[in-house]
């Protein structure tokens, strides 16, 4: 009688739906691990939701914000480099005109010329003065006057407040050396002699401004390269935190598949055992 009691209790254990043999927890875990591995492989990201790694997600978010700001900063710097190039190219045109005006002044200073000859030279001289004035007036970058206004263009060169660089704009025509040349007249011997002196002063002035914009350009190019390098480091660090390791995830996918097969087999065996136990009670 006691033996029958033990046999009956064993049979009841077999048909208990909460028995480990019939538990689906291992299968659920295997399917979840398999799904996570597939998601990481498919997205290429180790962190696809906050639950994957909350601490790393916060770090990656900060890095992403920094990266985005620095990327925009490189565009800002590149625009500023273009600005200096526009100014430098215009100054080169002015320098060429000043050089030609000097040639005309030297020619007009020749005593063998008559007044009519000098008047013809003066006509070209005046045209060059007008051209220089036009260059000063039309040299702009995105509506910012570069050679006809004293000021500073602030370039946001980083993702954080205070990371700015300044590029100075100038009012070239207002400088005394340029005023002297722009008001010169070579229609007389005296005027031609004075114009030669004015040419020298204007040439030195223009050269100094070219050097200024050239130095600004070098400074900006250096800042640009530094920002690009920082972005590369930032992107690599973010990748190490957030990107999936395909080798590890592939191994995890295979492992999850094996566990899933094992859990399925265990579940099937449990069902078979339960059916056998039920048949004994019939």
Tens digits of residue pLDDT in 116-174 = 999 999 999 999 999 999 999 999 999 999 999 999 999 999 988 989 999 999 999 99
Same domain, 22 and 154: no
Query: Please, which pLDDT band fits residue 2 given cuts at 50, 70 and 90?
Result: very low
Examine residue 207 and state whether it is found in any structural domain, yes or no.
yes
Q: So what's the pLDDT on residue 62? A: 82
At 249, is the secondary structure helix, strand, or coil? Answer: helix
253: exposed, middle or buried (Cβ count in 10 Å: 0-12, 13-18, 19+): middle
pLDDT tens, position by position, 21-53: 445 666 556 556 555 555 555 555 656 665 666
Asked if 129 and 121 count as a contact pair (C-beta separation under 8 A), the reply is no
Q: Which residue, among 232, 236, 80, 68, has the nearest Cα to 160 in the 3D structure?
A: 68
Examine residue 171 and state whether it is found in any structural domain, yes or no.
yes
Query: What share of the chain has pLDDT > 90, as a percent?
Result: 54
pTM: 0.69
Examine residue 65 and state whether it is found in any structural domain, yes or no.
no
Same domain, 34 and 134: no
Same domain, 86 and 225: yes
Mean pLDDT for 260-273 is 57
Examine residue 52 and state whether it is found in any structural domain, yes or no.
no
Same domain, 152 and 223: yes
Examine residue 66 and state whether it is found in any structural domain, yes or no.
no
| Distance from C-alpha of 100 to C-alpha of 132, rounded to nearest angstrom | 12
Mean pLDDT of the chain: 80
State the total domains in the chain.
2
Same domain, 91 and 194: yes
Is residue 111 over pLDDT 60?
Answer: yes
155: its two tokens:
């370039």
Same domain, 192 and 96: yes
Examine residue 214 and state whether it is found in any structural domain, yes or no.
yes
CATH assignment at residue 85: 1.20.1330.10
Mean pLDDT for 175-189 is 97
Same domain, 171 and 250: no
Q: Which residue, among 192, 167, 23, 7, has the nearest Cα to 88 in the 3D structure?
A: 167
Range of lowest pLDDT (5-9, 170-174, 175-179, 252-256): 5-9
Range of the domain at 115: 72-241
Q: Which residues of 198-224 are buried (b: 16+ CB within 10 A; e: fewer)?
A: bbebbbebbeebbebbeebbebbeebb
82: its two tokens:
């273009």
Q: So what's the pLDDT on residue 55? A: 74
Same domain, 109 and 228: yes
Name the residue with higher pLDDT: 148 or 7: 148
| Distance from C-alpha of 282 to C-alpha of 268, rounded to nearest angstrom | 21
Q: So what's the pLDDT on residue 232? A: 86
Same domain, 96 and 201: yes
Same domain, 162 and 271: no
Examine residue 50 and state whether it is found in any structural domain, yes or no.
no
Same domain, 87 and 212: yes
What contacts 196, CB < 8 A, 6 or more positions away? 102, 105, 106, 109
- Beta-sheet pairing, 148-156 with 164-171: antiparallel
Same domain, 165 and 225: yes
């Amino acid at each position: 009688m006691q033996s029958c009691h033990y046999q009956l209790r064993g049979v009841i254990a077999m048909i208990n739906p909460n028995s480990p043999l019939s538990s689906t927890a291992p299968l659920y875990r295997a399917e979840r691990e398999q799904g996570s591995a597939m998601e990481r492989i498919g997205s290429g990201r180790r962190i696809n939701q906050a639950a994957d790694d909350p601490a790393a997600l916060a770090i990656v978010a900060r890095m992403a914000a920094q990266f985005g700001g620095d990327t925009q900063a490189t565009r800002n710097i590149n625009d500023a480099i273009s600005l200096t190039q526009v100014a430098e190219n215009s100054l080169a045109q002015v320098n060429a005109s000043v050089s030609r005006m000097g040639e005309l002044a030297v020619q007009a200073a020749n005593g063998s010329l008559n007044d009519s000859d000098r008047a013809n030279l003066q006509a070209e001289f005046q045209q060059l003065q007008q051209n220089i004035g036009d260059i000063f007036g039309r040299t702009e970058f995105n509506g910012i006057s570069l050679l006809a206004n004293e000021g500073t263009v602030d370039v946001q060169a980083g993702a954080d407040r205070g990371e700015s660089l300044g590029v100075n704009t100038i009012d070239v025509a207002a400088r005394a050396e340029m005023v002297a040349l722009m008001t010169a007249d070579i229609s007389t011997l005296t005027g031609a002699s004075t114009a030669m002196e004015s040419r020298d002063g204007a040439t030195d002035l223009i050269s100094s401004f070219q050097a200024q914009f050239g130095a600004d350009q070098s400074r900006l190019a250096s800042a640009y390269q530094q920002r690009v390098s920082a972005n590369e480091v930032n992107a690599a660090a973010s990748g190490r935190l957030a990107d999936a390791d395909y080798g590890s995830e592939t191994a995890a996918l295979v492992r999850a598949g094996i566990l899933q097969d094992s859990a399925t087999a265990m579940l099937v065996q449990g069902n078979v055992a339960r059916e056998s136990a039920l048949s004994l009670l019939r």
